[in-house]
A and B are shown apart, each in its own frame.
Chain A
């Protein structure tokens, strides 16, 4: 699956570990939630970055004590119809101020990119090569947003206020 990071197709430096894969000496690793919670201290002490794959039915608050130390949180879309990870993403970004890489994994298709970006994802394990290639074009599909979310985009309500105030100044 191609990884899109920072808007471009990028190499993935992270190696995915299963619950019982032996720990490699060095390098960046992505570990399942239960393993991460079980061995967090040991994992974080080792050289190389650590990311965690968090399932969409586990309370994201459990991860809070570690957020400053992990490089990637990968949230899971088992199917594109299952939207639980959108809530987790917003909680991570907006409530818990997580600033590291937030990766969407699973069934990640181009028609969800805008929603995902707005929920706070910034990297994408994309299912189809063609979708990954269309990333930039798809991500720019909308220029207007109604809801305030943590992505910092100005909402329609506030855009209107701005327009009104600037008109009021009498240019």
Chain B
């Protein structure tokens, strides 16, 4: 865990008092809505279909139990008793009153959480691998660097009014759980030949109307240069990024229009000016941040404790264990993913009671730490294997032991028409219907790893472009129509999906997905050939034929 110190807490408190003043001026009419809009967005407050929506940052996805309890408190006191975990390591509340927001922020500030820069045209909450610090084989804990960058980008005086929002993600593992290739800047922690820590820097990824996979701008930037390098990218973007058209304002468009070579020359030139400035980070600074991350006092535990061996006789436990428990870098421990995708429910929702209960479980079984991942699931990062059976029972009581992580019902979906004022179509009901169709665990297991991603409009909050099966709601002659893509992915081999054909109606979506899955099961060469591999081998055609032959 990382502990905010007095300095961090002071800043968060000053931010709350500033926002309290801004809300007061808005409520008195001193600020126009136009002037207020950008100020509230910088504090995570959107005006939505029914009410204000409030988005709280969970930097690099790490939460302490008192923080999770504070989120539960906000859900209970200021909202309708639940919160929605999003694809960006944030949590959203949908029913907050503007006049109460400063109080909600103040309550969160007490435990060192805030909503700074979860929205607006600035540098957003830095995201990272939800398994950071515990994943076997990672270069080092990427959160040390995430925290360095979080601090540097918070209330940055030059980059708080960028052409558009700006997102940075960091991974330190070969398997990318942070989706760095669909971010404005993606950072992959690596070591050079000398054993020094640095980054491969990628730039210009993003989804939305014009999706792009990020390109490598530099193969190695030393850790001590990473702030100056990021600053150089941002300075070039701030000056040359388009502001005439919000659809063309993202850095991905600038990179695309200039070409990566020209763009990287601009960055390089800027970087040479500032590389040895006060942005140069000395080891002492990194060590200071590193020292404020604490790790649990792990015990020496057996690889296969008796408790686990005994529980293996229970097929329900085994189904869950195989699905939700991953290896930990320390022997005798495991990483447990908690599915927020129960059958028939909106993906990513958690009630205040669930959050409180999870906090208790994390205290009991995971050294007081919880993680949030971009798949809209949570994780307990340090569970002793001997505790797995007890944890499973407790989770099951809370409705949080659905064994579907990475399976077809582990769906990512944006709020769509149910909450979002920009939506063209419903997303949540589609997700709910699909989870019911594939509720049978044996079937889902037989299908294997398959990610469905759903967005209610072209903005792509549900990451539909990078779903193995992507579903995008659009509007056509006043009707909801869904375009289906296959073959997208958001990992280290990130790719955008391909459209399989004309859009289909709301009622047909689940049938079409069933057709695609049936086609896959018939076409795969071996039971362990994953959906993605079959699509890669055969392309869109056979799936298209199967879906449209009878329609």
The chain A residues found within 8 Å of chain B, CB to CB, are: 80-84, 86-87, 90, 94-95, 109, 111, 114-116, 118-119, 130, 141-149, 156-157, 159-161, 164
* A83-B238, A156-B151 given; A148·B161 CB < 8 A: no
B35 interface residue, CB < 8 Å from A?
Answer: yes
Closest residue on chain A to residue B122 by CB atoms: A83
Asked if B193 lies at the interface with its beta carbon under 8 angstroms from chain A, I say no
Pairwise interchain contact A86-B157, C-beta atoms closer than 8 A: yes
Q: Find A80's partner among B7, B35, B278 (CB 8 Å cutoff).
A: B35
Q: How far is the CA of A44 from the CA of B10 in the complex (A)?
A: 47
In the assembled complex, B100 has its CB within 8 A of some CB on chain A: no
Contact of B162 (CB < 8 Å), options: A83, A130, A142, A143: A83
Contacts A111-B35, A115-B160, A146-B154 given; 17 further ones with Cβ under 8 A?
A81-B38, A81-B161, A83-B159, A84-B239, A84-B243, A86-B157, A90-B158, A111-B39, A114-B155, A114-B157, A115-B157, A142-B11, A142-B18, A142-B155, A148-B278, A157-B151, A157-B285
Residues of B within 8 A of A148 (CB): 277-279
**Which applies to chain B's interface (DSSP): helix, strand, loop or mixed?**
helix
With A143-B14, A146-B11 as contacts: A87 and B273 at CB distance below 8 Å = no
B148 to chain A, nearest CB (A): 8
Which residues of A lie under 8 Å from residue B196 when comparing CB positions? none
Shortest distance from the beta carbon of A95 to any chain B beta carbon, whole Å: 6
Which residue of chain A lies nearest to B236 when distances are taken between CB atoms in the complex? A87
B152 interface residue per 8 A CB criterion? yes
With the chains together, A86 CA to B277 CA distance in Å? 18
> In the complex, what distance in Å separates the CA atom of A145 from the CA atom of B155?
8
Residues of B with C-beta under 8 A to A159: 7
Count of chain B residues near A, Cβ 8 A: 36
> Residue B284 at the A interface, CB < 8 A?
yes
Interface residues of B, Cβ cutoff 8 Å to A:
5, 7-8, 10-11, 14, 17-18, 22, 30, 35, 38-39, 121, 151-152, 154-162, 235, 238-239, 243, 273, 277-279, 284-285, 288
Q: Residue B7 contacts which of A83, A147, A160 (CB distance < 8 angstroms)?
A: A160
Q: Which of B18, B22, B161 contacts A82 (CB 8 A)?
A: B161
Closest to B121 in A: A81
Complex interface: chain A residues within 8 A of B160 (CB) = 83, 86, 115
Task: Flag if B152 contacts A146 (CB, 8 Å).
Answer: yes
When the two chains form their complex, are residues A156 and B7 in contact, meaning their CB atoms are under 8 A apart? Answer: yes
A86 adjacent to B238 (CB under 8 Å)? yes
Asked whether A119 and B157 contact (CB < 8 A) given A148-B278, A148-B279, the answer is yes
Bound-state Cα–Cα, A83 to B121, Å: 10
* A111 / chain B contacts, CB cutoff of 8 Å: 18, 22, 35, 39
- Which residues on the B side are within 8 Å of A90 (C-beta)? 157-158
What is the minimal beta-carbon distance from A81 to any residue of chain B, in angstroms?
6
Known: A157-B288, A164-B288. A86 touches B11 (CB 8 A): no
Residue of A nearest to B151 (CB): A146
A115 to B162, CA, bound (A): 13
Q: With the chains together, A51 CA to B528 CA distance in Å?
A: 72
CB distance from B267 to the nearest CB of A (A): 14
Chain B residues positioned under 8 Å from A115 (CB to CB): 155, 157-158, 160-161
Residue from A83, A94, A161 within 8 A of B161 (CB atoms):
A83
A144 touches B157 (CB 8 A): no
* Contact partner, B5, options A94, A142, A160, Cβ 8 Å: A160
B246, chain A: closest CB distance, angstroms: 11
The one of A82, A130, A144, A146 in contact with B14, judged by C-beta atoms closer than 8 angstroms, is A144
State whether B285 touches A149 (Cβ < 8 A): no
Contact of B238 among A84, A94, A95, A109 (CB under 8 A): A84
- Complexed CA–CA distance, A159 and B7 (Å): 8
A83 to B, closest residue via Cβ: B161
Q: Give CA–CA (A145, B284) in the complex, Å.
A: 19
**A143–B235 touching, CB < 8 Å:** no
Q: In angstroms, how far is the closest chain A Cβ from the Cβ of B411?
A: 35
Report A108 CB to chain B, min CB distance, Å: 12
Give 13 pairs: A residue, B residue, CB < 8 Å, sorted on A: A83-B160, A83-B161, A86-B160, A87-B235, A111-B22, A115-B155, A115-B157, A142-B14, A144-B11, A147-B157, A160-B288, A161-B285, A164-B288
What's the minimum C-beta distance from A139 to chain B, rounded to whole angstroms? Answer: 12
Complex CA distance for A130 and B21, rounded to whole angstroms? 14
